Structure 1
């Protein structure tokens, strides 16, 4: 069903989203530098770094791709890289679905195209705005533009200085990726009701990481947490009705 109360696209919403995502964009830039450094060590050229960051624009998937990358183009495992990227990014099916209430009638194609700029960071900020009765596709795109620019500049910078930084962990840059998501989680905390799905997601992800090779733990943890949250929400609904 189309939501006719969805807000219209305005430049004010766009710039509000761009400003709101500046703090997380700084964290994104920090682990973007790490990715750029690792990309240099993996043998990616500057052009390859620019194309991957600009077109793929998915930090977790790009980190996974680096694990599979080889310096020799003739032995590059294209199939496994595409499959790994698909698996890691499947969560975006769930994330983009939550944006449906913001889509105005007649703007479906434009809104679908705007989802290319959706990332974990600007999605979380937009969901926070929706919880306050605000939020819009323009807000999402504004935040996405900020994050995209930060990611592009940081990964290119990391690639350029890759020869000078032999060990990113020495500077604590390896923790930037984790720190960003911890900050987003704390910002989305609404109360004890969030604890169950978070714990379920974490537990399933940890078990999956131990038992299943690759990055399946991201997908299994996300799905398990979503189901746990849906079940808990339904039970709360039944409790209120009774």
Structure 2
């Protein structure tokens, strides 16, 4: 593993370059989310606040789908909890890779741990120590981009009201396929992906709500634990 670290400025720039394709890829469903939120009666300020404080696209989509007046707070809270339980697993995978962040830095990193940021940071950590500057280069562009897109979608409204007409409804799926492909390691990855997808599809058909997210994650973890050899210990340089 490479142990030499570039300057913070170079690390930040590398993060920006790495996240840029994904920042472009999320444009369609950022606009769609904003348009859907506006259609449910949320103001531009409320859309901005939701994106700024939640910053979780899938959870926001589910919340908007459930939104009505008065808001079903219990259903919204439970659904958001279920869809975001995957962050527990994502955070666990990060636990040995944030040694350079400090306590406050870890908390900030967790807030910005969207799927795209987590995936790119994980791949980076396989090659060299993950630095706060690199992580900031990932997080800040995607975060600002998400705020701008969702507010723009709310402002444009009807212009993006029918995402299927432009193929935008496939954007979510395409992004996550790309994230999975970034970790592709041949047959072992195929087994994990198939098990996770099969469990998620089955549970989605049988149970309402976001339980399919938990089922897919659990099936993938179980398959990985049963079929993947134990990894060697992480080098000390990656923990510092």
- Asked if Structure 1 and Structure 2 have the same fold, meaning a TM-score greater than 0.5 normalized by the shorter chain, the answer is yes
1:128-178 alpha-carbon deviations (Å, 9 max, x no partner): 112223433432232111211111111111101113333121111111111
Indicate how the Cα distance of structure 1 residues 210 and 118 shifts in structure 2: closer, same or farther if over 3 A, else same: same
The match for 1:57 among 50, 55, 62 is 55
Are positions 1:189 and 2:184 aligned together? Answer: yes
CA 1:205–1:173: 2 relative to 1, 3 Å: same
Give the direction of change, closer, same or farther, for the CA distance of 1:106–1:169 in structure 2 (3 Å limit): closer
Contact 2:59–2:80 (CA<8 Å) still a contact in 1? yes
TM-score by length of 1: 0.87
Correspondence list, 1:28-39, <5 A = 28-39=26-37
Shift of 1:124: 0.8
Normalised by the size of structure 2, how large is the TM-score?
Answer: 0.88
Q: Alignment length, in residue pairs?
A: 230
2:100–2:131 Cα contact (<8 Å) kept: no
Q: How far has the Cα of 1:125 moved from its partner?
A: 0.8
Q: Residues 72-91 of structure 1: matches in 2 within 5 Å?
A: 72=69, 75-91=70-86
168, 171, 188: which one aligns with 2:166: 171
User: Which of 131, 143, 147 is the aligned partner of 1:148?
Assistant: 143
Deviations 1:93-119 (A, max 9, x none): 111221122222781232122211111
* 1:12 aligned partner: 10
Question: Whole-Å Cα distance in 2 between the matches of residues 236 and 129 of structure 1?
Answer: 17
Aligned to 2:207: 212
Cα deviations across residues 70-112 of structure 1 (Å, max 9, x unaligned)? 1x2xx21111111111111111111122112222278123212
Match of 2:22 in 1: 24
Structure 1: which 5+ residue stretches go unaligned?
A: 238-242
CA contact (8 A) 1:40 1:163 kept: no
Matching residue of 1:128: 123
